[in-house]
Structure 1
Amino acid sequence: MKIPSALLLLAGCFPLTAQETEILCVDGSRIRGSLLGVEVDRLQFEAAFLAAPVPLRLEKVLEVSLPIHRGDSKGDHVATITLTNGDVLRGELIGIDKDSIKLRTWYAGELTFRRAMVDNLEIQDRPDLIYSGPDGIDGWTQSEPGTWQFEHGWLRAKGAGSIARNFELPAKARFAFDLSWRSNPRFNFLFYTDDITKAHPENAYELIIQGGRYVQLHKRWSKGDKSGSNTLGNFANVPELVNKERCRIEMLVDRKTGLIRMLVNGRVAQDWTDPDPDAGLHGGGMHFSTQDNVQLRVSRIEVTSWDGVLEGKPPEQDEGFMDEDDTPQPETDVPVDPTRIRLRNNDQIAGEMLGIENSKVKLKTAFGEVNLPVSRLRTFALHTKEQRENWDLYQIPKRYNGDVRAWFPDGGCITFKLEDAGGGKLEGSAQSFGKASFEQKAFARIEFNLYAPELDELRNRGDAW
């Protein structure tokens, strides 16, 4: 069945609800409705403007946006694998040897990857998850109703105002989110606030971004008949705010010591210290706030506990300023010697990894064999310099006709050849991991027709404002 483009554009005029799917077609049309199923060569969907469910051939589809679903991950750690083609997956590390790396996932069971096609592996403690989203507007409080809207897995600002949410926050917490904008971002992030109904609560830490590269941290406090406000420490220099239109911001907070760290795209940007963390009556509120009609979005929001462990350090400040063309340099603390293994407290030990059993990694060291919990590890080199320079040993997975790229809500993705679908499953294969069956609900977005260069411009505009 061929659907006229004019009808598809008419479908795009209806508002997208939290549980609806949006299909972007290769002619630029958008269809909003409910996805009934994915087959190898077509989609089955229904919509309010159609009399009955209809198929749409995948050769006419650029991407599909799906409702957000959060899986129930297990284990005491999170292992993040980056493949040589840029794919990123997370799970529990359950096996490793000279040829393969094995992850246990909730969305595909056990996945075994060719070690030669794994570019990087990092391990972190699994924190207590307090919030992960957004998956709708419910549960959020706006200072100006209607200012913020939920679309496609993000919160989008339509004007000046704040959107906030309350949590039971521990003394040590981590806040993380993706911030996207057009032109200059003018945006405030407030945390540990005492009143989510106000755009300017009396007790708050406030990260202030005002259209340039320099960011400041401000504190307001009030208790009884006493109150005050002050700016904490130096400005943070964040070149990404002027060089890009998207970044990931993380705030690590220790309310007892007053330590607050800001990371941007994983890079340590600034450390601040509150000289009097007990001042005020701070609560569990978190706000995203704008002052004018900026084009701005927030997505991939995570609020978790934090163990207080710090890695790396902020750059040395040269009176708080950098040249306009300065860009942050990547940290170079990942070991290049495959016999060096970095632990989560930044210590390094020399040893050979013999394998993993019962969530413990067995290491061969100069002092004998040592067993360590996998969660104690941070990272280690997977390849020697010589292997990286040898194309036969350091491989990029082959591309195949029928490849799709499926995106997880946390920003990771996996590329595979779609071979079968049904019953809420997507089955496929890739050179990096062989065959696998994925839960369709694990994905927030699926891209099709990946290797058609004539569609690149439309694909880049698929994330339309």
Structure 2
Amino acid sequence: MKATSYLATRRCFNSSGKQLFTTLLSATCASLLAIGGLAHADLIIEEAPAEEQEAAPAEAVAKDGEKPKEKSEPEKDAAVKSRIFLTNGDKLSGMPHGVDGQGNLEFTSESLRQKAGFPIDKVLSLELDTWKYRPRPETIARIQLYPSFGEASGDTLLGALHELTPDSIKLDTWYGGVISLKRSMVKSLQIISNGPGSYYGPNNLNEWTLTHGNGSWNFQNGALHSVSDGGAGRDVGLTEKTHISFDTQWKTSMRFRIQLYSSDVKDSSPDAYYDVNFNRSYAYLRTRGKVANGGNIARGGRWKQLNLPRDQTQAHFDIFVDRKTGTLTIYIDGLRACVLQSQSPDPENLGTGLAFVAEERYPIEISGITVTPWNGTTFPNQKFDLKPGGVPEAPADDTEKKEDEKPPHRIILKNGDEVPGTVGKVQDGRMIIETEYTPIRIPIKRIKSLSLGDDGEQPRKYREDVRAWFHDGGHVTLKLASFEDGKISGTSQAFGDVTFDLKAFSRIDFHIYDKKHNELRNDMR
């Protein structure tokens, strides 16, 4: 690869943000990786003028006391397609082109004269600005895999349910075509519809009401980002029994509130709500509203411990709520974390709104928000027997057991009914189910979820694994094979060889099992 010649201007700051000094250096792409830093540093790459390519760099910074010359026309900011984060703390905006045969991530920027190559072992993450609104289908299948050994959560994929067999679940996606997932590695399958009391997003900022005005929250790459104090709310038509799930990330400490059954999403302190306060490793429920005798109540309960690891900076939440009884059951990363009980359940003026409330000192990111009606009895299955992937099972006593004698699925409908049977193909928006007596066809929009049994298998880890984060929430892990032409290809024990459209992802992380690199990633957010 031909080295790119450029001038690098490095502005160094102390921890309080005061600029200490500015240095100039002339370097090649390889030397960019060796630049160190102080408390933090911004690396700005500027193209060297043609006449300076063969000469030493000229003075590029105004001397003390001199004002820099004003340009006749202001430069237009280039559209940022991505940012590359390096293991030494530096970052650069531009456009990724893929990984070449020597294992270098090729990257161009308006600040560079030509394409640069960064060795993959020096790349921490690639942040992508590729989100684009896509109309939601009437129903979406959300599949979550079992986590690999030592990981907090498994991969999550969204798409249209295509087919189920005794060994696989096929998902039709816009970003990867039809994906066949190994059934034993699927932890849960949930159907999300656009019916009453259902929501999936966020899709844009306009569909959310900001209690503290424009600028308190923003929308980027399919996620809501808090900027200052205040809430982001939406009337999602919460039903009497509801299931709310979402992914959240934080930088230093998990601290935010979620208001359920808000009577007014335009107000961060409405007249009535169930208010759940998450504060580091604890959760607390407060109830506000009118009681039957016309009085007002504002009561809280006891703090419940969550037992989150101190260094954790992201989590998937599932909250199951019974409005009448005031009972909230909270799962974090698929495990039951706590049960909160209102001391004054079901105030008469509760609404149907949902709101996330953040503090300026503790910014959060919310994505993959799912709201669906709940039957009041079904919770995530935790009674599974996990086996490492690739380990053969001991032969069963009945070696002659036929394939069609495998335990059937349990199809859970939105009204709480359960249908035992074996699911086959999905046609014309209906699921064909073979029951003991006769085949039946159930509209997918009437289905809440499918129970797939108690035995689970953990996907294997590979040294070359990367983790790609979807704009729509969740992530997928695969052993990287190629990255070119706007596509990323790889393999996973859970779904075999795949090729994904890069536009589906907001970020790609490298060296995902390295503790030091994960700490650097947490610091960069």
* Alpha-carbon spacing, 1:341–1:243, altered in 2? closer, same or farther (3 Å): farther
Question: 2:42 is paired with a residue of what secondary structure?
Answer: helix
Equivalent residue, structure 2, for 1:331: 382
Match of 2:95 among 35, 42, 47: 35
Who wins on radius of gyration, i.e. which is larger? 2
Unpaired segments of 5 or more residues in structure 1? 314-328, 389-393
* CA deviations over 1:328-351 (Å, ceiling 9, x no partner): x97328999952533315776765
Letter in 2 for 1:433: F
Equivalent residue, structure 2, for 1:325: none
Q: How does 1:9-158 map to 2 (within 5 A)?
A: 9-11=41-43, 21-31=82-92, 33-40=93-100, 41-47=103-109, 50-52=111-113, 54-59=115-120, 60-67=122-129, 68-69=131-132, 71-72=134-135, 74=137, 76-82=139-145, 85=148, 86-115=154-183, 118-128=184-194, 130=199, 132-133=201-202, 141=210, 143=212
- Answer yes or no: is the 8 Å Cα contact 1:203–1:219 preserved in 2: yes
Question: 1:10 is paired with a residue of what secondary structure?
Answer: strand
Question: 2:237 is paired with a residue of what secondary structure?
Answer: coil
* CA deviations over 1:23-77 (Å, ceiling 9, x no partner): 222333222x2425334555454556x1546333352322212234565554635
* CA deviations over 1:224-282 (Å, ceiling 9, x no partner): xx7723326x5463423586745444445577x575634232436235486554337x4
Q: Are 2:440 and 1:380 aligned? A: no
Q: Are 2:459 and 1:405 aligned? A: no
Shift of 1:93: 3.0
Q: Are 2:275 and 1:231 aligned? A: no
- Say what the alpha-carbon RMSD is for the aligned residues: 4.6
Unpaired segments of 5 or more residues in structure 2? 5-27, 46-76, 149-153, 388-404
* CA deviations over 1:192-227 (Å, ceiling 9, x no partner): 4455565434444322345663412221469xxx77
Letter in 2 for 1:299: I
Counterparts of 2:459 and 2:376, CA distance in 1 = 33
Kindly, what percent of the aligned residue pairs are identical? Answer: 19
Shift of 1:427: 3.6
* Alpha-carbon spacing, 1:130–1:12, altered in 2? closer, same or farther (3 Å): farther
Equivalent residue, structure 1, for 2:481: 418
Shift of 1:303: 5.3
Match of 1:207 among 262, 276, 296: 276
Counterparts of 2:199 and 2:256, CA distance in 1 = 23
Equivalent residue, structure 2, for 1:318: none
Letter in 2 for 1:23: I
* Alpha-carbon spacing, 1:340–1:208, altered in 2? closer, same or farther (3 Å): same
Counterparts of 2:318 and 2:125, CA distance in 1 = 29
* Relative contact order higher in (CA < 8 Å, ≥ 6 apart): 1
* CA deviations over 1:423-445 (Å, ceiling 9, x no partner): x3334444543443312111121
* Alpha-carbon spacing, 1:303–1:339, altered in 2? closer, same or farther (3 Å): closer
Match of 1:270 among 340, 344, 364: 340
Shift of 1:155: 5.6
Equivalent residue, structure 2, for 1:324: none
Query: How many residue pairs are counted as aligned between the two chains?
Result: 418
* Alpha-carbon spacing, 1:142–1:56, altered in 2? closer, same or farther (3 Å): farther
- Answer yes or no: is the 8 Å Cα contact 2:431–2:443 preserved in 1: yes
Shift of 1:80: 0.8
- Answer yes or no: is the 8 Å Cα contact 1:220–1:228 preserved in 2: yes
Question: 1:205 is paired with a residue of what secondary structure?
Answer: strand
Letter in 2 for 1:302: I
Counterparts of 1:240 and 1:167, CA distance in 2 = 31
Match of 1:309 among 375, 392, 397: 375
Shift of 1:109: 1.3
Counterparts of 1:10 and 1:376, CA distance in 2 = 48
Question: 1:378 is paired with a residue of what secondary structure?
Answer: strand
- Answer yes or no: is the 8 Å Cα contact 1:262–1:269 preserved in 2: yes
- Answer yes or no: is the 8 Å Cα contact 1:258–1:273 preserved in 2: no
Q: Are 2:514 and 1:463 aligned? A: no
Counterparts of 1:144 and 1:398, CA distance in 2 = 45
Counterparts of 2:365 and 2:211, CA distance in 1 = 15
Question: 2:375 is paired with a residue of what secondary structure?
Answer: coil
Q: How does 1:172-187 map to 2 (within 5 A)?
A: 174-180=243-249, 185-187=254-256
Match of 2:364 among 281, 286, 297: 297
Equivalent residue, structure 1, for 2:237: 169
* Alpha-carbon spacing, 1:381–1:130, altered in 2? closer, same or farther (3 Å): closer
* Alpha-carbon spacing, 1:283–1:430, altered in 2? closer, same or farther (3 Å): closer
- Answer yes or no: is the 8 Å Cα contact 1:191–1:204 preserved in 2: yes
Equivalent residue, structure 1, for 2:287: 218
- Answer yes or no: is the 8 Å Cα contact 2:459–2:492 preserved in 1: no
Equivalent residue, structure 1, for 2:357: 288
- Answer yes or no: is the 8 Å Cα contact 2:207–2:234 preserved in 1: no
